[in-house]
Amino acid sequence: MDIWALLIIPLAAALLITLVTRKNEDLSSFISIGAIVLCFFIVFPYLLKMLGNPHMEALEQSFTWLQVKGLTIEMGTIIDPLSIIMLFIVTFVGSLIHIYSRGYMHGEHGFSRFFACLSLFIFSMLGIVLSNNFIMIFVFWELVGLASYLLIGFYFEKASAADAAKKAFLVNRVGDFGFILGIFVLYYATGTFNFIELGHIIAAGKVDSATLGLAALLIFCGAVGKSAQFPLHVWLPDAMEGPTPVSALIHAATMVAAGVYMLARASFLYSAAPHFAMMTIAYIGGFTALMAALLALGQSDIKRIIAYSTLSSLGYMVMSVGVGGTSAGMFYLTTHAFFKALLFLGAGSVIHACHTNEIWHMGKLFPKMKVTAVTFLLGSFAMMGIFPFSGFWSKDEILSAAYNADTFLFGLGVFTAFITALFMTKLLLVTFFGEKRYHGHPHESPGVMTIPLMVLSVFAVFAGLAGLPGLEPNFGTFIGGGHGHGGEHHFNYAVATISTAAVFLGIIIGYALYSKKDMHEDILAVKFPKVFRVLENRFYFDYVYDNYLVKKIYNGIAKISNFIEVYIIINFILNGIAYITRQIGRGLRLTISGQLQHYTLVMVGGVFVLMIIFVIF
């Protein structure tokens, strides 16, 4: 039953804070932190047990949630290597970010609300990870969407934050619509929602490949929304309106990775889906990775740069799933969770010190904030994928998987690695080195913020060793072991050399461009103003969406709905009924004359009528 406690504890914490302890800020934050740490200590023994015996059966528990004629919906949990890794990431990174938030959010209005939302998020996220069927994962999928909405819109007095929250929620709806259609297609073909049963049915070849391809692509729509893939990527950069710990936890480490987790969870479907569907997924991933990396170059807001790098990383993971490297994708997800959470928390620490997001208002922060700068540096190296940091191993696995599947995707991946190195170098140089451009007196953040940074940086550096080729069990075989299909990976020296060369080229070019003295704006903006403007404006995606999708289609539908509401429902039906009633009343009012004898006459008349009826019948 302790598995269910993983869901009950954070939910109870969220409710307790909302209903009881909201006024007491310290107590609220401790309840929330206590809940997530408790969850971590529930998960950890399971992880150790699984690591000791990677071939053990998946633990499944379920009960019937809903039963109507011909349809039974279950709620159930599943513990296997895949979910245990994800549980570990969510509870471990979550714990660190909760603790960090106590420092970062200090003195903010709505401190308790923040922690209540975080606990709600942890509850929903653990629900996704633990789900053993598609309906339950969908329910919790929507719940994380809600938590994300609440947290992006945390500063809801600010119009941009409220808009960003609404945008995230609505864009996700688009993807989720496809997701649920995909679930229905799969249910129609197999008659079950349960992952393990679905796996058996599909492995037995009882579903034709066209149906599988359709279901695979529709379910992928859910991941496109949640993991912010092209063309639904627009919400993620805007989601940075939320507080930085939220960006770290939800929009980097866990929730956006839920899409990739879900694809890995449904790997039985994706390993059986036709080549065309898989290539579509891989190309969407690869395209997102490259596009986002390019866009990151054009940004000057520290959080937006990291947000675009997250998009790019998510594209990598999706590409990996698309080319059949599910375990490589999960491996990247794991290392990414550590180094991206680290980068966001580091960025939060910088923002906390400088009170701005603009990197051109920072510069030379290294001597002022040594801990933040060093941990941020380590996180960046992991992100770029420099040997032997964690990102190197995981990115290499993805690139090898791409190399074996499709040369073009491999090229896309390597080029993305180059661009990533370029913009990360820019970010580092402009923020921590070079000219002093900040105002005021930035100082190192308190220990409650720097200690999580240090812990995360240890993982960002060393987590990659879990995937060391030749290690038994290493990450790939561990994940693969629970699924019955191997996550085989042979270290490919050619791939490693090419990607490392690309990264170093990126660093060198980045250094050459951004290490100049006396620089107060982006050198690319000066040299290539036109190209830069396109990047700065995010390839005009938001512009096109706003002006065509929103203004034309959305407003068109809104106008029609408005017409129906105002003229048909309100004016015709509602006011019509009121008008008829009023007219009848006006007519009947004339009979109330106040004349006693009129009433009597009616009474006598009535008696006569009754008498006549009585006599006739």
Q: Which residues bind another protein (CB under 8 A)?
A: 589, 592-597, 600-601, 604
Instruction: Give the span between the Cα atoms of 411 and 408, in whole angstroms.
Output: 5
Contact by Cβ (8 Å): 329, 321: yes
- 558 CB contacts (<8 Å, ≥6 apart)? none
CB of 576 to another protein, least distance (A): 24
Smallest gap from residue 71 Cβ to another protein (A): 58
C-beta of 607: minimal distance to another protein in Å?
Answer: 9
Closer residue to another protein (CB): 470 or 594:
594
Closest distance of CB 180 from another protein, Å: 58
User: What's the one-letter identity of residue 483?
Assistant: H
Least CB distance from residue 590 to another protein, whole Å?
A: 8
Query: Would you give the distance in Å from CA 555 to the centre of its chain?
Result: 27
* Gap between the Cα atoms of 138 and 131, Å rounded: 9
Closest to 347 (Cα-Cα) out of 309, 312, 314: 309
* Cis peptide leading into residue 388 (ω within 30°): yes
Nearer residue to another protein within complex by CB, 1 or 591: 591
- Looking at the Cβ atoms of 490 and 595, the one nearer to another protein is 595
Question: Nearest Cα to 303, choosing from 362, 368, 369?
Answer: 362
Query: Which residues neighbour 459 within 8 Å (Cβ) at sequence distance 6 or greater?
Result: 338, 342, 390
Nearest CB to another protein, comparing residues 469 and 606 = 606
Token reading at 211: 């149906």
d(C-alpha 13, C-alpha 118), whole Å: 10
Tell me whether residue 51 or residue 603 sits nearer to another protein (CB atom). Answer: 603
- Beta carbon nearer to another protein, 549 or 611: 611
Min CB(616)–another protein separation in Å = 20
Nearest to 120 by CA among 235, 200, 215, 36: 36
Cα angle, residue 280 at apex, residues 277 and 285 outer, rounded to 5° = 130
Tokens of 172: 């996700």
Q: Which is nearer to another protein, 490 or 586 (CB)?
A: 586
CB of 605 to another protein, least distance (A): 10
Cβ neighbours around 336 below 10 Å, total: 31
Residue closer to another protein by CB (options 8, 607) is 607
Q: In angstroms, what is the minimal distance from the CB of 573 to another protein?
A: 28
The Cα–Cα gap between 204 and 207 comes to: 8
